[in-house]
């Protein structure tokens, strides 16, 4: 009984410590960059010993990889659960852009850590594409598929790409990299989405044309 408890506790502790280290690393890598962050600082912020970074993750960059792997596995595509599909394709596109733009902003810390590494490491770049972006794109594509009668297949992909591109730029690049105002960028994203989506407005009976 004691042994079990002890084992359990040890396991629990390890899991807790691992998470603490990953969280601390995530924060510090994002704000100072990977190489400028010292292992000592990570350990201090996580509240445990420096040596654990090497015991658990082998090395500083092992911790980085663990950080990425963890996020990738956490990544849950909750689009369907949390966001009801809109009534029209036009509305759906606008709503997707808004949703994804917000999500990119929420993900900014992870992206700040990941992107600069992906610049340098082709494998990492492809890993992110495969595990994160591709899955999201697929989820978006599925939702759009609801409207397939108003959306030729060859355009469906383009719309999905449009959504994630606009979300990335106005949800992450502009506010995070270039320090532009978050709200304004979200607004811009919406205006652009509106113009883009207009193309897919279903003509109401008796009205035609651009206006």
DSSP code at position 121: -
Q: Is 49 in the site for a copy of itself (CB under 8 A)?
A: no
Report CA torsion sign: 50, 52, 55, 61: negative
Which of 122, 149, 153, 204 is in the footprint of a copy of itself by CB under 8 A?
122
CB of 176: closest distance to DNA in angstroms? 24
Site of tokens 């394709």: 89
Q: Is 138 in the site for a copy of itself (CB under 8 A)?
A: no
Q: What is the Cα–Cα distance from 66 to 73, expressed in whole angstroms?
A: 10
Q: Is 195 in the site for a copy of itself (CB under 8 A)?
A: yes
- Taking alpha carbons only, the member of 121, 32, 16 closest to residue 68 is 121
Q: What is the Cα–Cα distance from 58 to 53, expressed in whole angstroms?
A: 7
Q: What is the Cα–Cα distance from 21 to 48, expressed in whole angstroms?
A: 8
* Piece of 40-48, 60-68, 69-77, 120-128 that binds a copy of itself (CB under 8 A): 120-128
Q: What is the Cα–Cα distance from 164 to 154, expressed in whole angstroms?
A: 17
Among a copy of itself, DNA, none, the one that 182 touches (CB under a kind-dependent 5 to 8 A) is none
Q: Which is nearer to a copy of itself, 84 or 209 (CB)?
A: 209
Q: Which residues of this protein are in contact with a copy of itself, per CB under 8 A?
A: 31-33, 35-36, 112, 115-116, 118-120, 122, 125-126, 128-129, 133, 154-155, 157-159, 161-162, 165-166, 168-170, 173, 176-180, 188, 191-192, 195-196, 198-199, 201, 203, 208-210
């Amino acid at each position: 009984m004691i042994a079990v408890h002890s084992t359990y506790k040890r396991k629990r502790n390890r899991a807790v410590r691992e998470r603490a280290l990953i969280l601390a690393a995530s924060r510090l890598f994002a704000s100072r960059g990977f190489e400028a962050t010292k292992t000592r600082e990570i350990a201090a912020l996580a509240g445990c010993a420096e040596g654990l970074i090497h015991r658990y993750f082998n090395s500083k960059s092992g911790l980085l990889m663990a950080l990425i792997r963890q996020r990738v596995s956490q990544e849950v595509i909750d689009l369907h659960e949390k966001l009801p599909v809109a009534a029209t394709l036009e509305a759906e596109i606008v709503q997707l852009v808004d949703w994804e733009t917000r999500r990119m902003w929420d993900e900014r810390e992870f992206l700040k850590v990941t992107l600069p590494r992906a610049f340098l490491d082709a494998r990492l770049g492809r890993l992110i594409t495969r595990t994160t972006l591709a899955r999201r794109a697929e989820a978006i594509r599925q939702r759009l598929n609801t409207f397939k009668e108003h959306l030729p297949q060859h355009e469906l992909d383009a719309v999905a790409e449009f959504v994630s591109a606009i979300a990335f730029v106005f949800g992450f690049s502009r506010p995070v990299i270039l320090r532009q105002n978050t709200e304004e960028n979200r607004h811009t994203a919406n205006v652009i989405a509106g113009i883009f989506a207009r193309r897919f407005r279903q003509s109401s009976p008796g009205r035609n044309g651009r206006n």
